[in-house]
Amino acid sequence: MDEKYIAYQTMVAARDSVNWAMWSMIAAWCGISVSLATLIIAKRALSTWRDQEKVKVKLDFKKSILNLKSLLIFMPELIDMVEIKEQKDAVEAKWIFEDVPLILQGIENGEINVHRYEKIILALDQCVACWLATEHLFKKSLLSTKWLEAQKTSNEYILGTATKSKLLLELTAIATEEFVFDSK
């Protein structure tokens, strides 16, 4: 082998090395571009997901308000806590009067009232849980004020100091508010 051939082969190897380096650099830039595009798409997807979750939480709150309203329809105008307590006690002692149909019928009617009362309490708890899930979405808004007033009235109704009509009016004011699909 002579020196010219070795020099030529060295020059060809150097040229091939530069070509491979150039293609490696192009592949690296393509990889970076794809990674940036993926990052941008992921950020948009996360933003969309967050908006969907906000709508879902608002919708759950509105559904819980409507559920509470529908349960209130079958409740008395004013709850008598003494009567509810007596009916609860009678339901617990129902087995004693199994042989007396008239008394048993009265206990079963009381059982329906107790069941309705307990469903109202559970529905109210669901409303509160849904409201808490909205966190700061309604902070310092008219809806927040309406809900706090309705929550106060519902607690008073459960204790027998507020009327069903007042509570229904407040819940209707919340239910008719358009807050689920607003742009906030």
Dist. CA 107–CA 148, nearest whole Å: 36
Identify the CA nearest to 116 among candidates 71, 64, 67, 77: 71
Give yes or no for a contact between 74 and 115, defined as CB atoms under 8 angstroms apart. Answer: no
Using a pLDDT cut of 90, give the percent of the chain over it. Answer: 50
Average pLDDT over residues 63-81: 92
**Whether 67 contacts 126, CB under 8 Å:** yes
pLDDT of residue 59: 93
> How many residues are given for the chain?
184
Q: Which amino acid is at 26?
A: I
Sign of CA dihedral 65, 152, 125, 143: positive
CA–CA gap between residue 34 and residue 37 (Å, rounded): 5
Please count the CA atoms within 13 angstroms of the CA of 15 that sit on its side-chain side. Answer: 6
pLDDT at 184 over 50: no
pLDDT at 89: 72
Whole-angstrom CA distances from 120 to 51, 52, 65, 73, 82 are 31, 29, 11, 11, 17
Residues 6+ apart with CB under 8 A from 119: 71
pLDDT, residue 174, reads 93
Residue 21: pLDDT above 80? Answer: yes
Half-sphere exposure of residue 88: CA atoms within 13 angstroms, side-chain side = 10
Return the higher-pLDDT residue of 66 and 86: 66
Q: Tens digit of pLDDT for each residue in 29-63?
A: 999 999 999 999 988 887 788 888 889 999 999 99
Residue 105 has pLDDT above 70, yes or no: no
Q: Give the span between the Cα atoms of 124 and 67, in whole angstroms.
A: 9
Question: pLDDT tens digit string along 135-181?
Answer: 888 888 899 999 999 999 999 999 989 999 999 999 999 999 888 88
Which residue, 184, 183, 179, 181, is CA-closest to 65?
Answer: 179
Q: Looking at the whole model, is its pTM more than 0.75?
A: no
Query: How much is the mean pLDDT over the chain?
Result: 86
**Amino acid letter at 182?**
D
